[in-house]
Amino acid sequence: YNIEMLKKLRGSMIKVEFAKVLGISKQRYQFIENGRYKEIPLSVVQKLKDRYDLTPEQVLELIGIK
C-alpha cells in the first residue's frame, strides 16, 4: 500500500489523533504507517474514503493497485 499517501492524508495530525479518526489504536496505526502490515484493513480504507471523499482511483492507489 501507499505509505506516502497515507502520511499525506494524515497531514499535520499527530498519529494518536489520526488513529482515533480511523477507529484504531495508535500502535496499530504506527504498524500500518511503518509498513509492518502488508495490507491496510478494509475498515480503515473505508474510513479514509469517507472522511477524505476519495475517488475509487485514489482508494486503489492507497491500497497499492495502480
Amino acid found at 5: M
**pLDDT tier at 17, thresholds 50, 70, 90:** very high
Copy the grid coordinates of residue 15: 498519529
| Phi and psi torsions of 17, nearest 5° | -65, -45
**Choice between 38 and 27, residue whose per-residue pLDDT is larger:** 27
The chain-wide mean pLDDT, for the chain, equals: 90
**pLDDT tier at 64, thresholds 50, 70, 90:** confident
Amino acid found at 65: I
Residue 29 is predicted with a pLDDT of 92
| Tens-digit pLDDT profile for residues 29-47 | 999 888 888 888 888 889 9
